[in-house]
Amino acid sequence: MPLNVATAYSIEDLRLGAQRRLPRAIFDFFDGGAEDETTLRDNAAAYQRVRLVPRVLTDVSAIDTGTVMLGQPAQLPMAIAPTGAVGFGWRGGDLAIARAAAAAGIPYTLSSTATASIEQIADGAPGRLWFQAYILRNKPFLQALIDRAQAADYEALVITVDLPVGGKRERDFRNHFSVPFRFTPRNLADFARHPGWLSDIIRFGMPVMENLIGLETRATSATAIASSVGRNYDPSFDWEDLQKIRDRWPRKLIVKGILSPDDAVRVAAMGGDAVVVSNHGGRQLDGAVATFDALPGIVKAVDGRIPVLLDGGVRRGSDIFKALALGAQGVMLGRATLYGAAAAGEPGASRALAILKDELVRTMQLCGVRSTRDVKASALF
């Protein structure tokens, strides 16, 4: 049954609520990473390696969490990262997260692999909308997606560049998880132990990735399951191809999946509007640097030419504070709101944002900082 969100006091509480409600194959798809999951764990651990230096005797009775995100005001230094297949965890989960983001006054990024269409989100969740595009081998199909996002008035296009091939996600292999989902004796037995989730699937069927209807994504054998994510992506995509998208797309362009300062500089030089420091949540190259550790070098390299956003491992409001202190304009939230939606739908997603906001405000107060604009590196030790 859905979690009582009033009893969730942390993102970890929401994670555990999602874990209790979902079959293992579905939860592990959301929760897992590549290979030994070293990078997955390190993304969160990196924040814990840095300590805070509180300043005292400052009037912190009023805290301003507002900021500018990609040239427009946001009520919090956060945006929702693209997360695929959310409807596998909660039917209508994409829309639930988008509505929670709109209510919180922050941007929402729709994934190419969402279980809601570009148009459904635009119609059902008025707010600041960004569309994330994976680079498909089928270029006419990809361009049609981008054209649809423009027609639906999405303000920004997010190009994910760290998925030339799918990562080796061994939890998915062991659980027989693929896209579309394959029903096997192993996962059917697991489904039966989660009747609340199963009853929805029996009644309405397994959700589909609405934006990819018409694009073949099926894993046809057990050996193909581990690579089902990424099979349709184009490993030949390069800087020249990215420039063509930049030249054609008339609005803001964000490049997500940057860990190298040199790559960030090149994005700025080619006319990109922002970079997202991301390792795909530890789901691609295991052993890749934690994003928080990569952030300072990228901020220094771009030297204010374009905004830098940070993705990966954010579980506490203090993590957001630390990212701002190192020069990020804001963070992108993937699993945090995904856990909330999987545990309890829109109330769960809203609860995730409320938890992080409360923790951010509390951290600012205890560190003697009244505004997100005043968060400096001197607050870190």
Q: What angle do CA 162, 24, 277 make, to 5 degrees?
A: 20
User: How far apart, in whole angstroms, are the C-alpha atoms of residue 376 and residue 361?
Assistant: 15
- Cis ω on the peptide bond leading into residue 180 (within 30° of 0)? yes
Burial class (CB in 10 A: 0-12, 13-18, 19+), 250: exposed
Residues whose CB is less than 8 angstroms from the CB of residue 161 and which lie 6 or more positions away in sequence, other chains included: 135, 237, 242, 255, 256, 257, 258
- Token duo for residue 163: 């998925």
Give every CB contact of residue 95 below 8 A, 6+ residues apart in sequence: 116, 120, 121, 124, 125, 346
φ, ψ (nearest 5 deg) of residue 275: -120, 150
**Burial grade of 105 (CB within 10 A; 0-12, 13-18, 19 or more):** middle
CA distance 208 to 179: 9
Residue 337, classed as helix, strand or coil, is helix
Residues 20, 18: Cα–Cα separation, whole Å: 5
- C-alpha 311/C-alpha 44 separation (Å) is 11
Cα–Cα distance between 75 and 101 in angstroms, integer? 10
The H-assigned helical ranges of the chain are 11-21, 24-31, 38-48, 93-104, 118-124, 139-151, 170-174, 185-192, 195-204, 239-248, 261-269, 291-302, 317-325, 335-366
Instruction: Verify whether residue 194 is a known catalytic residue.
Output: no
Assign residue 105 a region (left: φ > 0; alpha: ψ between -120 and 50; beta: otherwise). left
| Active-site entry in 15, 182, 280, 351 | 280
Residues noted as catalytic: 280
